[in-house]
Amino acid sequence: MNTLNRNCICCNKPLKGRMDKRFCDDYCRNHFHNAIKSPENNLMRNVNNALTKNRRILKNTYQSTPPPHQVPVEDLMQEGYVFRYHTHFLNEEPKGYGCYDYGVLLQPPGMCTIVQCEGTRIKKENSFSISLHNGAQP
């Protein structure tokens, strides 16, 4: 039987066993593939961390402010909220951004309303307080 001197493509140790073996152990195999996927995984990890932080800020702000849950946009930004990261757009007027089960409705001048969402819609209990704020009659 013809045997070749083969080495692990990660750590360069000699390989024993099957002819098509490329790694000496699971550590080398995982290390090799994680190094290849690292830039892509870092991007996804950073975006997921930003979305998680945005949701936590919206939830805490929603729970700590009385209805209609209005705060200055600057307050959200000081907490670390990043407006470019959101999971969906809200399909109701005024237009807003959703971050999982919470959302932000931008109100002029420099104010925003925090709402709870069901998909791309605002939960019903929030609609009444928003319509009152906008000057509409119940």
- Could you tell me which residues come within 8 angstroms of residue 72 by beta carbon, excluding any fewer than 6 positions away? 110, 111, 112
51 within some domain? yes
11 within some domain? no
8 within some domain? no
Q: What's the first-to-final CA gap in the chain, in angstroms?
A: 88
Sign of the torsion formed by the C-alpha atoms of 66, 69, 74 and 76: positive
Radius of gyration of the chain (CA): 26
Is pTM beyond 0.85 here?
A: no
79 within some domain? yes
pLDDT tens for each residue of 74-129:
999 999 999 899 999 888 777 788 999 999 998 878 899 999 988 777 877 644 44
38 within some domain? yes
14 within some domain? no
Cα distance between residue 19 and residue 14, in whole Å:
12
Domain region containing 54? 26-133
pLDDT tens for each residue of 42-80:
888 899 999 999 999 999 999 999 988 999 999 999 999
CA distances, 129 to each of 55, 62, 78, 115, 132 (Å): 21, 13, 25, 10, 5
CA nearest neighbour of 84 among 40, 57, 47:
47
Where residue 3 falls among pLDDT bands split at 50, 70, 90? low
Question: How many structural domains does the chain have?
Answer: 1
21 within some domain? no
